[in-house]
Amino acid sequence: MNANTTLAPITGIRLGTAAAGIKYPDRNDLVVIELPVGTACTAVFTRNAFCAAPVQLARQNLELRPPRYLLINSGNANAGTGKQGMEDAVACCEGLAELGDCTANQILPFSTGVIGERLPTARLIDALPQAMNNLTEYGWNAAAQAIMTTDTVPKLVSRQFTLEGHPITVTGMAKGSGMIRPDMATMLAYVATDAAITKTLLQECLQQAVEPSFNAITVDGDTSTNDACVLMATGMSGVSPITDGKSAAYQKLVATVTEVCMELARAIVRDGEGATKLVEVLVEGAKNKAEAKSVAYTIAHSPLVKTALFASDPNWGRILAAVGRAEVENLDIELIQIWLGDVCIVRNGGRAEDYTEEAGQAVMDQSELTIRVALDRGEVETRVLTCDLSYDYVRINAEYRT
């Protein structure tokens, strides 16, 4: 979504931004999100053992009390910073708590940026009054830009559906471009709704939405230290609370939240560092989910496949080799079929008899394409979104700290 597009606001939620000079001067790099009293909030976080101080603190605070504020900074991840990093994260929460008339454990902190450097706490705290003065329900666009690091575009989505004759809104933003691999969410994402729902069902809703979206994308196979996805429900739509996980109302909410998450996930992969192609890897006919994922991610993570995609080279042998090394037990290559788009490239253990380089090239020249693998071993399928690996990916990451 274009940065200038006005998203549907979520009643009760306000966002404010400020320039704290964390990495670059004169650009907004600090976001405060204010939640009304009574908001249900849940989150999922990275599974990286070296999770950042703000991740640890946000987890703790979320267990203690319903949050009143989210505090996000870009430019510095506050990761790999030990005890000092936790002290800095706590200090930032305390600074916001003084301004927000709440306790420090009612604030969830989030950071993204360079790993291993101390957070410039004083500059961040000094910028908090500016962010608080800028709080507005229409602050989604500015906030989405402020949390960007190597992203080239802000990522924002709004969707609506109807309950009891009233519109229900789901609005979300995300950042992410590199260090993207499933194991929670592999980026920062914030999704909100004005629906009323119990926290238990909200957590289930988030888990269902994350699996086919943020947990089904990969840019480079690296899981970040700071990943988080937050789902907030203000309950201010005027519609009865959702309390039944089998109700039509709950199913509508899950479907809409999932749609928002999938659109944001798609935007992250499309904006992968240096990416020129958006690629869906579809594996079908697997015995189980683990087997399907193993094949899909072996293809999606293969540097040889990804560089062939960048070159628009229909080098089907690289895809074939990736499938073969996916450690699928007793794999019968005679049964496998592989397609580029609608062009069959592999059949009966080798190149499809009717395959031509011209047909393969026509698919590879597209900016969005599908690699489909049929294993003929069962009924399970899985989908993964990935991208190519370009010269710019190397340049961006080689220059990341300069």
One-letter-per-residue 3-state SS of 262-298: HHHHHHHHHCCCCCCCEEEEEEEEECCHHHHHHHHHH
Using an 8 Å Cβ cutoff, are 41 and 66 in contact? yes
Per-residue pLDDT at 400 exceeds 60: no
pLDDT given for residue 185 in this prediction: 39
Range with lowest mean pLDDT among 15-19, 268-272, 374-378, 398-402: 398-402
pLDDT given for residue 25 in this prediction: 87
C-alpha Rg value of the chain to the nearest Å? 22
Rounded mean pLDDT of 339-361? 95
What are 84-132's pLDDT values in tens digits?
Answer: 999 999 999 999 999 999 999 999 999 998 889 999 999 999 999 999 9
Query: How would residue 6 be classed by pLDDT, with cut points 50, 70 and 90?
Result: low
pLDDT given for residue 224 in this prediction: 67
CA distances to 60, 70, 148, 259, 367 from 271, rounded to whole Å, are 32, 25, 11, 18, 12
Per-residue pLDDT at 4 exceeds 60: no
pLDDT given for residue 396 in this prediction: 65
What are 353-379's pLDDT values in tens digits?
Answer: 999 999 999 999 999 999 999 999 999
Q: 380: which strand partners? A: 286
Residue 15 one-letter amino acid: L
Give me the helices (H) in 45-139, please: 53-64, 82-100, 121-133
What are 35-94's pLDDT values in tens digits?
Answer: 999 999 999 998 777 789 999 999 999 999 999 999 999 999 999 999 999 999 999 999
Express the helix, strand and coil content of the chain in percent, nearest 5 each. Answer: 35, 25, 40
Query: How would residue 397 be classed by pLDDT, with cut points 50, 70 and 90?
Result: low
pLDDT given for residue 230 in this prediction: 96
What are 182-222's pLDDT values in tens digits?
Answer: 444 347 999 999 999 999 999 999 999 999 998 888 765 55
pLDDT given for residue 223 in this prediction: 62
CATH code of 14-270, in short, is 3.60.70.12
Rounded mean pLDDT of 133-145? 97
What are 221-235's pLDDT values in tens digits?
Answer: 556 678 899 999 999
Using an 8 Å Cβ cutoff, are 179 and 393 in contact? no
Range with lowest mean pLDDT among 13-27, 180-194, 278-292, 303-317: 180-194
DSSP, residue by residue, 158-201: EEEEEETTEEEEEEEEEE-SSS--SSS-SSEEEEEE---B-HHH
Q: How many Å apart are CA 27 and CA 19, to the nearest integer?
A: 5
pLDDT given for residue 402 in this prediction: 58
Vertex 24 angle, CA 15 and 78, to 5°: 70
CATH code of 278-398, in short, is 3.10.20.340
Range with lowest mean pLDDT among 73-82, 84-93, 269-278, 326-335: 269-278
Closest by CA to 149, choosing from 388, 389, 396, 398, is 396
* Domain boundaries, given as residue ranges, for the chain: 14-270, 278-398
pLDDT given for residue 327 in this prediction: 87
What are 225-262's pLDDT values in tens digits?
Answer: 788 999 999 999 999 999 999 999 999 999 999 999 99
Catalytic annotation present for 186? yes
- 3-class DSSP assignment, residue 13: coil
For the chain, the average pLDDT equals: 90
Quick one: DSSP state of residue 136? B
Pick the catalytic residue: 46, 112, 149, 186?
186
pLDDT given for residue 1 in this prediction: 41
Per-residue pLDDT at 181 exceeds 60: no
